[in-house]
Amino acid sequence: MTEQTAQPRSGRPRRRIWPWIVGAIAAAAIAVGLFVFQPWLLFVDVRVDEAIPTATASADPAPDATASPGADPQASTTAAPTPPAPTGPVDLSTGVFVSHEHATTGSARVIQHPDGTRQLALENLDTSNGPDVHVWLSAGPVIEGFDGWFTAGGHPAVDLGPIKGNQGNQLYDIPADVDLAVFRAVDLWCVQFSVSFGAAALNPVG
């Protein structure tokens, strides 16, 4: 019986490729996570300091139409004249921010200009930077604490655009057809993760 000996395999030894595959998948997952969450934004502040108009006093009311001494008491009184329109910006509503997912401070004002246009002013704002944060006018209530983090997402809202910066003073135009009697809150809404950074209830002035 002939004895057979094992012959060595020719060519280079086969390398294990699965560690490389696992490493590539992990690296891709990390890259996607960094792209989506952008955690470095939490450590980068963007300050915006736009000139916020100063509200002027309301126009003086028309004088009381009372009868002067010696006037005929039977004489009919005339309607009071319409007060003149304000000659400068006036505040329609104001509010103070409360914190939601991120610590948020500052105030909000709705300003009406003599030509009838309106703007939302955010003053002394200080919140966290983050991906895809927008300034909303919301029809939902402002609720403090964790329960308020997601409230605005369940109510109608008007998107005034991406936030200009997480700190400072900034202005946003309000479309003419927005009913401020309905949209009575400001919400700094992270569209990407459907969560509020902070919000302010708008209370009418006067």
Q: How far apart are CA 153 and CA 189, in angstroms?
A: 8
Write down the pLDDT at residue 160. Answer: 98
Residues 34-42: contacts with CB within 8 Å, 24+ apart? 36/131, 36/192, 37/131, 38/130, 38/131, 41/128, 41/129, 41/130, 41/131, 42/128, 42/129, 42/130
**Is residue 169 within 8 Å of residue 68, measured between CB atoms?**
no
Q: How far apart are CA 125 and CA 107, in angstroms?
A: 7
DSSP state of 56: P
Count of beta carbons in the 10 Å neighbourhood of residue 144: 10
- Any alpha helices (H) in 2-149, and if so which ranges? 18-37
CA dihedral 43, 147, 108, 60 (to 10 degrees): -170
Write down the pLDDT at residue 130. Answer: 86
Write down the pLDDT at residue 181. Answer: 96
pLDDT for 84-120, tens place per residue? Answer: 667 899 999 999 999 999 999 999 999 999 999 999 9
Write down the pLDDT at residue 206. Answer: 78
Write down the pLDDT at residue 79. Answer: 60
Ranges under pLDDT 50 in the chain: 28-37, 40, 58-68, 75-76
Write down the pLDDT at residue 42. Answer: 57
Q: pTM for this one?
A: 0.70
The owner of tokens 């709705």 is 110
* Average pLDDT across the chain, whole number: 81
